[in-house]
Amino acid sequence: MKSPACLVVVISLAFTLVARADDAEKFNDFLKYTQEVVAKQHLIVYANIEFDNSKKKPLEFRYDHYPEIERMQPAAGGSYVRKQDGKWGKSDDWGETSKPAPAKVTADFDNWIGLVNAPLNNIHVELDKSQGGVVPTILEGEGGEDKEIVFELRREHSTNLGYPQFGFVPFGGKALIHSFNGPMHYGSDHVQAHFRYDFLFKVNVQMQEATPAASPSGSVVATVSAAASGSPASTATLSADDQSSGGEEVIKAACRQMQRGSWKVDAKLTFKKKLGITGLINGADFDLATHPEDGSAPMRQVAIMTLSWLSTDNGKNWKKTDAKDRGIYNWVHSPLIGGESMPAFMVVGNEPHGGETWQHLQLKPDEKVDDPSRLPNYWVVMDAQGEPAAVRHFAGPVLISGQVVQAEIDYAASKEPWITPPMMPRR
């Protein structure tokens, strides 16, 4: 007869094996679904590859893949397109017009594509056979604010060394790959790869998107990016003459729309002194600069996935910094959270602004206030169907590090499709 201690060990081991099997099944299902989507839709990959050999510069590029055409945009500049069974050509219009690309520029493109495709096809090599087979394991609490489901490809006899991590975002009742971080081999080099995967889906042309992006065929598309949380965002409308609560649904719908695409930000925060902030946000990524009105040194920070860079001399010099330090982003993004716990807002009215209709919404206080302008106020742009498309302006108090700060923030759609690292020029 087994002792109670032995029984506990056996039961614990059984539960562990079941959990591992469930994790592996989910991982394989998510990866299979991703492969099915890649075969039909527009895949975008932003790649950052760091060599263990410190003498070699990091490799940065963006790669776009359609079933019928590919595009490569290296950090050094230029846009190169290859159609099915064709050669690479230099083109800024998806191959409508192009000229031959220098072989020395495109020589490594297929190798780069092989790197970003390896996680999609789960291609890996186990050099240390003593660790046993690969065991996909869900990491609890690793998803962050983008709600990723993170798997680590551990081994049966793990040595607690760094293993590849795959991040997936829920979509359409399943999940799509969104990130890969981990070691890889590139020729004879050992590298650390950081890939972000986004997808553009063709949708019904009657669907209104806050920032529609053009595919090569000119279709209207919806982006699944770092903040993807499932099926396309729903919208809500509220009559301008309805002064009761319910305006918060308009704000939440507008905030959901702004989880996709890039947005220009122009903010003025009033602490004891005034601080300006300008730049871009895209999901959880950002490129933001401060403009202190007291003449103190400005700061610019760029953060992409798990990477972050900081400059204190107007972008002349950069150093890597902790990507978890997101204070500058939180200052301008906090009005866009639009969570389920948002308090009641009332509709003040509709206002024309440069050919757009903005709906003014104000926090509905529990009691009368002397100065309503000190309450949180949103101006949401409405589309042609009268549905929320985006937040255009926020004015009111925000809570930052336990301190209430008065904020005036303008938001506008940006033509920049993604946030670029400091060494990669904006297009």
| Burial of residue 219 (number of CB atoms within 10 Å: 0-12, 13-18, 19+) | middle
Residue 231: both structure tokens together:
């099926």
* CA pair distance 183, 162, nearest whole angstrom: 8
The Cα–Cα gap between 307 and 49 comes to: 11
- What is the rounded distance in angstroms from the CA atom of residue 333 to the CA atom of residue 398? 10
Q: What is the pLDDT of residue 125?
A: 63
State the architecture of 247-413 in CATH terms: Clam (2.50)
Task: Give the model's pLDDT for residue 202.
Answer: 56
What is residue 28's predicted lDDT score, i.e. its pLDDT? 92
Query: Check: CATH 1.10.287 for 8-201?
Result: no
CB 273 within 8 A of CB 302: no
Is there a contact between 131 and 155 (Cβ–Cβ < 8 Å)? yes
How is the chain split into domains, by residue range? 8-201, 247-413
pTM over 0.75: no
DSSP 8-state secondary structure symbol assigned to residue 372: G
Q: What is the mean pLDDT of each run of 10 residues along the chain (427 residues)?
A: 41 40 88 92 90 87 91 89 90 89 93 94 68 78 62 75 85 86 88 88 42 38 37 32 66 89 92 89 92 87 88 88 86 83 86 91 81 85 89 87 82 87 62
What pLDDT score does 20 carry? 55
- Confidence (pLDDT) at 381: 94
Q: Hey, what are 50's tokens?
A: 């760091």
